[in-house]
Chains A and B, each alone.
Chain A
């Protein structure tokens, strides 16, 4: 499974990416939305893990852009900002279901990615 990790916290993104790699996920990470778009244009990913609050382009906007490029892509949001309920209301109201609040448990993330990957593609 190919995973793209987007978080402006470089330390977090790099460590998380490495941990996913160790668990057999082919993971790339970038620290800005613009880099993520470039990355997706050049490569096919199954899942994108996005931070909601980022400088420049926000997680939600980035998702819309990436969906245009690759409609089959699945998304998981991460946030350290706002409670789980807040977050769920904000993003899940917009049709999203995959949300995690930092600090996350890596097993939760992996479970979530697996379950998303099993879902049939939309449309």
Chain B
């Protein structure tokens, strides 16, 4: 709040006034508030809107890019795996068709076939076996001892009986090693059948998976349709583990969906059902990790927004304050000169009226003067009444009254004349005394004692008599208003230290001025007497008048002790 008090502009506390001078002033605080508000809305709203739009668009673009990347990868990997399996399936089909049933039951022949397969297809084929229609393994070639094993109750055996060709899930089987089976049915001449069965390790799939480099903690693995992992995954379990989220719905095409991981993390899941097999290829990425770079960009965007808004606000605040402050100053200046003109006009009218009154009164006054003078002459010069003191006293009273009235009319005329610019040589003391003549009655009635001290070396000055009269009149009036009855006004007139000008100091023993008010006393419209009809213009007009004739005015005061106004005037108004 203290900081605000320091930086708040001068117009902030100007309240709209309904009375007197203030009614011509705007409500600056409201103008300031509205301009700041409107400019801020117009400048900041579009910025925020565009930033939000850009934010959304970029987010969406990135997401769709991640989706298409995932879909693309799923399709490619699916193609490779699907090809791998169907190639091997076709090879077995070929063997079944190319070899008579007896030949396959010959163990030596079967060894040759396995070697040919292993040579032709590289990795993959672990062993081969022939199983009769009862599910009994008649012939077996391979690293495990599986001869005569009974497969009647094994699911894959039942499947191949119905489907002629079958690719199984990955399972442990008798050998207790994860593997999958490709089985092909061969019809026999006697109407029964036998099955050529090859087992493949999961190694090739694992290898295919491991070759893929995936962004965003990506994971790729196979599951079966029950959600059991068929290969080892990086983050979602080992082979035969349950996948920690639900199996996606069937779709013949590659799909990308959003899911939720076991820890509640958001996932981007691409999947593809591999046709003709129990396998589903899964590509799982963590959205949070994917969007890491986006989050970074978002932070920068936000910082940019905050910086821009701060900058815009600072500029708006600065320029609005500057403009309203200037407006306020211009208004005050305008109002000030308006009042100055009004005041000058008022003084001119008073002057004209005073002149007319004085002219009209002067002639009858002259007649009274001469008639009374004559009466006195008659009594004094013709000795017979000269001794009548009462009579002479009465006549003298008339003559005194006339003299006094004459003095006032002469001053009035001088005053009215001086309202127009009249630069002349004068002694400030004379002007002070002229002004005091106007206030003679008030001074007497209130018992105010006025003392004038003039330094002997004070020289006359060249100045505007009318303005000087107004200045002195305002200052003395001001002093009278501050003083109690029987107060004291002391006026010192002395040369300046360089003896080129004159210093006139008016000191009263009135109520004084509070320190806070002292700084503002010359401000237009500043008044502590608004309730008593003060306009707050008297001293500011005085201040301007003093400056107009090239002088300076200062004030010093002690509350309860009195106030001193010091006016310094140049020797000549032109200097």
Query: Which chain A residues have a beta carbon within 8 Å of chain B's beta carbons?
Result: 9, 11-12, 15-16, 18-19, 22-23, 80-86, 101-106
Q: Is B377 an interface residue (CB 8 A)?
A: yes
Mark out the residues of chain B between 355 and 397 whose CB falls within 8 Å of any chain A CB in the assembled complex: 359, 362-363, 365-371, 373-374, 377-378, 381
Q: How far is the CA of A82 from the CA of B354 in the complex (A)?
A: 11
A80 and B417 contact, Cβ closer than 8 Å, known pairs A11-B371, A19-B373: no
Smallest CB gap from A106: residue in B:
B373
A83 touches B417 (CB 8 A): yes
Q: Does A103 contact B368, Cβ atoms closer than 8 Å?
A: yes
- Indicate whether B414 reaches chain A with its CB closer than 8 angstroms: yes
In the assembled complex, the CB of A53 is this many whole angstroms from the nearest CB of chain B, namely 9
Q: Are B366 and A19 in contact (CB under 8 A)?
A: no
**A16 x B363 contact (CB < 8 A):** no
A16 to B369, CA, bound (A): 9
Q: Top 5 closest A-B pairs, CB basis?
A: A80-B362, A103-B369, A102-B366, A15-B370, A83-B413
Task: Output the least CB separation between A81 and chain B (Å).
Answer: 5
- Which residue of A15, A19, A22, A81 is within 8 Å of B362 (Cβ)? A81
Q: Which residue of B lies closest to A13 (CB)?
A: B370
A86 engages B413 (CB within 8 Å): yes
In the complex, which residues of chain B have a beta carbon less than 8 angstroms from the beta carbon of A85? 414, 417
Q: Does B406 contact A (CB under 8 A)?
A: yes
Q: Which of B268-308 contact A (CB under 8 A)?
A: none
Q: Is the CB of A103 within 8 A of B362?
A: yes
Most A CB contacts (10 A, CB to CB) among B363, B403, B405 go to: B363
Q: Are A102 and B362 in contact (CB under 8 A)?
A: yes
Please determine whether A102 and B381 come into contact, CB atoms closer than 8 angstroms. no
Query: Which of B365, B371, B373, B417 is the one whose CB lies under 8 Å from A102?
Result: B365
Additional A-B contact list (19), CB under 8 Å, known A81-B359, A83-B417: A11-B371, A12-B366, A12-B367, A15-B367, A16-B373, A19-B373, A23-B381, A82-B359, A82-B417, A83-B410, A83-B413, A86-B413, A101-B362, A102-B406, A103-B362, A103-B370, A103-B402, A103-B403, A104-B366
Our pick among B359, B363, B377, B405 for the contact of A19 (Cβ within 8 Å) is B377
- The docked-state distance in angstroms from the alpha carbon of A83 to that of B378 is 31
| Closest-CB distance, A65 to chain B (whole angstroms) | 24
Cα A23 to Cα B374 with chains together (Å): 11
Q: CA–CA, A103 to B362, complex, Å? A: 7
User: In the bound complex, what is the Cα–Cα distance between A55 and B195 (angstroms)?
Assistant: 158
Task: Let me know if A101 and B363 touch, CB within 8 A.
Answer: no
A102 touches B363 (CB 8 A): yes
Q: Name the CB-closest residue of B to A105.
A: B403
Do residues B365 and A103 form an inter-chain contact, with CB atoms below 8 A? yes
> Closest residue to A82 on the B side, CB-wise?
B413
Which residues on B sit within 8 Å (CB–CB) of A84? 410, 414
The reply to whether A12 and B417 form a contact with Cβ atoms under 8 Å apart is no
B:388-446 near A, CB below 8 Å: 402-403, 405-406, 410, 413-414, 417
B contacts with A: majority SS: helix
A9 contacts B413, C-beta separation under 8 Å: no
Given contacts A83-B410, A102-B362, A102-B365, contact A16 B381 (CB under 8 A): no
Q: Are A80 and B359 in contact (CB under 8 A)?
A: yes
Given contacts A9-B366, A81-B359, contact A19 B374 (CB under 8 A): yes
Q: How far is the CB of A103 from chain B (nearest CB, A)?
A: 4
* Contact between B371 and A15, CB atoms less than 8 A apart: yes
* A101 contacts across to B, CB distance below 8 A: 362, 410
A16 to B367, CA, bound (A): 9
Whether B359 contacts A83 by the Cβ 8 Å rule is no
Q: A19-B377, A22-B377 are in contact. Are A11 and B410 (CB under 8 A)?
A: no
A15 vs B371: C-alpha distance when bound (angstroms): 6
Closest to A80 in B: B362
- A81 partner residues in chain B, CB cutoff 8 A: 359, 362
Contacts of A12 in B (CB 8 A): 363, 366-367, 370
Q: Is the CB of B369 within 8 A of A104?
A: yes
A15 touches B374 (CB 8 A): yes
The chain A residue with its CB closest to the CB of B359 is A81
Q: Smallest Cβ distance from A64 to chain B, in angstroms?
A: 24
Other-chain contact of B370, A19, A23, A86 (Cβ < 8 Å): A19
In whole angstroms, how far apart are the Cα atoms of A83 and B373 in the complex? 23
Chain A residues positioned under 8 Å from B377 (CB to CB): 18-19, 22-23
Nearest CB on A from B467, distance (A)? 16
Chain B residues near A18 (CB-CB < 8 A): 374, 377
With both chains docked as a complex, state the minimum distance between the C-beta of B539 and any C-beta of chain A, in angstroms. Answer: 29
Offer 10 A-B interface pairs, CB within 8 angstroms, sorted by A. Answer: A9-B366, A12-B367, A22-B377, A23-B381, A84-B414, A86-B413, A102-B362, A102-B365, A102-B366, A103-B362
A16-B410 contact, Cβ under 8 Å, with A22-B377, A80-B363, A85-B417: no
Given the complex of chains A and B, what is the CA–CA distance between A86 and B362 in angstroms? 15
Q: How far is the CA of A122 from the CA of B370 in the complex (A)?
A: 32
B144 vs chain A, min Cβ distance (A):
143
Quick one: CB contact mask for B324-365 with A, threshold 8 Å, 1 for yes? 000000000000000000000000000000000001001101
Judge whether A11 and B369 touch: CB under 8 Å: no
| Smallest Cβ-Cβ distance to B416: which chain A residue | A83
Note all chain A residues with C-beta closer than 8 A to B368.
103
Instruction: Give complex CA distance A15, B377 in Å.
Output: 10
How far in angstroms is the closest Cβ of chain B from A105?
Answer: 8
Give the Cβ gap from B375 to chain A, nearest Cβ, in Å.
Answer: 9
Q: What residues on A are CB-neighbors of B370 within 8 Å?
A: 11-12, 15-16, 19, 103
CA distance A19 to B399 in the complex (A): 14
A81 to B365 Cα, complex, angstroms: 12
A122 to chain B, nearest CB (A): 28
Q: Roughly how many angstroms separate A105 CA and B410 CA in the complex, as a whole number?
A: 14
Cβ of A25 to closest chain B Cβ, rounded Å: 12
Most chain B CB inside 10 Å of its own CB: which residue of A9, A16, A81, A103: A103
Once the chains are docked, how many angstroms separate the CA of A81 from the CA of B406?
12
Q: B6: shortest Cβ distance to chain A, in Å?
A: 54
Q: Is A103 a contact of B366 with CB atoms below 8 Å?
A: yes
- Chain B residues with CB below 8 A from A80, complex form: 359, 362-363, 365-366
**A86 to B417, Cβ gap below 8 A?**
yes
Could you tell me if A15 and B363 are in contact, using CB atoms closer than 8 angstroms? no
Distance of B426 from chain A, by nearest CB (Å) = 10
